[in-house]
Copies of this chain bind each other. A is one copy, B any other.
Amino acid sequence: MPASLNPRARPIVVAAAQMGPIALSETRADCVARLLEMMREAASRGAKLVVFPELALTTFFPRWWFEADQEVDVFFEREMPGPETRILFETAAELGIGFYLGYAELAHTDAGLKRFNTAVLVNDKGAIVGKYRKVHLPGHADHRPERAFQHLEKRYFQPGDLGFPVWETMGGNFGMCICNDRRWPETYRVMALRSVEMVLLGYNTPNDHTGHPEIDGLSNFHNQLAMQAGAYQNATWVVGTAKCGIEEGSPMIGQSMIVAPSGEVVAMASTLGDEVVVARCDLDLCRIYRETFFNFAVHREPAHYGPITAQKGPVPPTNG
């Protein structure tokens, strides 16, 4: 790796491993084989960390209404790693590469069975370092027959109950979020307040589902804008990885990308299929923004942020 002009540079080569569509008929083994092939490619190109999409082991099933729990549960993992996914962990350890993997989690809790839209961060020894459960669930819980496709995340998942942790591992501070989380500035901000240096996120984003063509037509722009702003305003790297293409008739955006703390896109996928993009990311770049514009300890004014935590929805104008 060439020398950096920055004597404090902490470079890590990272990959976003985008997936094209997963058919309803594809098995876990089929999906894992695709992930393994991309993990090997990422490692061969120098990557020490590879980010896979949200719900990377199945088709995006919230597009369909299922009446019975049993019909839905086939899309969920009961353990991680499990029999079909263990090979990912073993290969990661062999190759010395960490990974982020999104999947549907059926969790046995004290309060009974719960379903989450989950991601794990696995280190370069093949060990799970952290788990994240999607906080911002989009869509609806009711059946809407007028829609070409449902968006039933609010039916099939419960909101994440783990908050937005940040883990120190593999030479940096890493956080996770999933899909719709990336549109909410609170997501990145909470992690930045915990010293995150790289936010890992996977997504499945249909671009025909708001009912407003003028919104849907901007799906790619909004995807990029949200991640660029999250990176810049929080002085953090962001690695966003799509599952994309036309999946079971539903079109989803691609644009998997790696964004620098400057807000600049340093790598982006150019297809709607399985594709690995790689960038060398200096984690120390976060610091120069955090020592200037975004020196939180000097410049933030939380006394005036009260409504952000005190309110969920909006109130009328205060008129002074």
Interface presence of A267 (CB below 8 A): no
User: A74 interface residue, CB < 8 Å from B?
Assistant: no
Q: What's the number of copies of this chain in the assembled complex? A: 2
The stretch of A28-36, A52-60, A101-109, A180-188 that contacts the partner chain? A180-188
Q: Are A263 and B225 interface neighbours, CB within 8 A?
A: yes
Cβ-defined contact, A189 with B317, below 8 A: no
User: Which residues in B have their C-beta under 8 angstroms from that of A221?
Assistant: 263-264
Partner of A215, one of B289, B309, B316, B317: B289
Chain B residues lying within 8 Å of A311, measured Cβ to Cβ, are: 193, 302
A308 at the interface (CB under 8 A from B): yes
Contacts of A226 in B (CB 8 A): 229, 232-233
CB distance from A260 to the nearest CB of B (A): 10
Interface residues of A in 186-214 (CB under 8 A from B): 186, 189-190, 192-196, 210-212, 214
For the side of the interface on A, what is the size category? 35 or more
Cα of A194 to Cα of B305 in the assembled complex, Å: 12
Within the assembled complex, what's the spacing in Å between the Cα atoms of A273 and B111? 64
Shortest beta-carbon distance from A265 to chain B in Å: 11
A262 touches which of B160, B194, B214, B317 (Cβ 8 Å): B214
A166 contacts the other chain (Cβ, under 8 Å)? yes
Closest chain B residue to A209 by CB distance?
B292
Closest Cβ–Cβ distance, residue A255 to chain B (whole Å): 15
Interface pick from A16-24, A40-48, A79-87, A130-138: A130-138
Does any Cβ of B come within 8 Å of A1's Cβ? no
Of the candidates B166, B190, B316, the one whose C-beta lies within 8 Å of that of A194 is B316
Beta-carbon contact of B289 and A189 below 8 Å: no
Whether, in the assembled complex, A167 has its beta carbon less than 8 Å from a beta carbon of chain B, the answer is: yes
Judged by a CB distance under 8 angstroms, whether A25 is at the interface is: no
Partner of A228, one of B138, B215, B225, B317: B225
Known: A130-B319, A166-B318. 16 other contacts (CB 8 A): A138-B299, A163-B304, A165-B319, A167-B318, A167-B319, A184-B233, A184-B300, A190-B304, A190-B306, A192-B314, A193-B308, A215-B288, A221-B263, A222-B232, A225-B225, A225-B229
Lowest 3 A-B CB distances belong to which pairs?
Answer: A297-B313, A229-B229, A185-B185
